[in-house]
Amino acid sequence: MNNHEIDYKLHGDDMQFVEIELDPRETVVAEAGSLMMMEDDITMETIFGDGSSSFDSGIMGKIMGAGKRMLTGESLFMTMFTNAGNGKKHVYFASPYPGKIIPIDLSEHSGKIICQKEAFLAAAKGVSVGIEFQRKLGTGFFGGEGFIMQKLEGDGLAFIHAGGTIHRKELQPGEVLRVDTGCLVAMTSDVNYNIEMVKGVKTALFGGEGLFFATLRGPGIVWIQSLPFSRLASRVFAAAPQTLSRGSKDEGSIAGGIFDLLGGK
């Protein structure tokens, strides 16, 4: 194996975090800002790119690796956590919003997983975090998650996160599954992925489900999320003005007191 072998344990239900156990000199790479806590003797190092072995030699290789991450909307930098002690140590990473953390052993999926951008949380050192270009321009322009998706390559463990409940579905050869574009979390590299327009003018305009959905054709495995973060955020923003307006007038509330002091009625 080229990747470090790490052990893990998932905690929680709706707001999960992952506990990763590191043997001496073992390293895990994570997105900036995902750290929850870590034990003594674990060192942190900010790196340019993803720290995979393919980009360890040469400054140009590191720049290319970081540039690929920038195209997916991620930070140019990642953080490596290494056990510098003599015994087993633990480091913890948290999901950024309500949902699930999915551990994926890349060696069980031909060494490659394609996932939506911003889904990556952490991985064993040696896993390459790159970009995956879709074959058809329509996929990029209308796919909801953009023309570029992330790809995770290697033979170690990787952790991705998604919103709500996660459904893992194995598609048989020729089997087709149509999914809301925002609900697609990840898929194996053998899944054929395309974008299809909703049929029927009235359905497209008044159905409330958007004009396009993803068409996934087997064989392969797909991971679907029930609550995309974009959907959650839009509902929160839509309800915020009404909630603030009602809350400001409630008797006994702090907001109501401030509202009255400012001359509200």
Q: What is the pLDDT of residue 157?
A: 95
Domain edges within the chain? 7-239
Sign for the CA dihedral angle at 204, 206, 207, 213 comes to positive
Q: Return the SS3 of 87.
A: coil
Average pLDDT over residues 25-32: 92
Is pLDDT of 57 > 90?
Answer: no
> What are the structure tokens assigned to 182, written together?
């925002």
CATH, range 7-239: 3.60.160.10
For 181-205, the pLDDT digits (tens) are 888 999 999 999 887 776 654 544 4
CA distance 44 to 29: 10
Whether 259 shows a pLDDT value over 70: the answer reads no
Is this prediction's pTM over 0.85?
A: no
Residue 101's alpha-carbon distances to 3, 21, 43, 58, 196, in angstroms, are 20, 16, 24, 33, 29
Q: What percent of the chain has pLDDT over 90?
A: 44
Looking at residues 110-139, what average pLDDT do you find? 81
Q: Sign (positive/negative) of CA torsion 120, 139, 148, 221?
A: positive
| Each residue's pLDDT tens digit, 226-254 | 988 777 777 777 777 665 555 544 544 44
Cβ contact 125:80 at 8 Å:
yes
CB neighbour class for 199 (10 Å; exposed up to 12, middle 13-18, buried from 19):
exposed
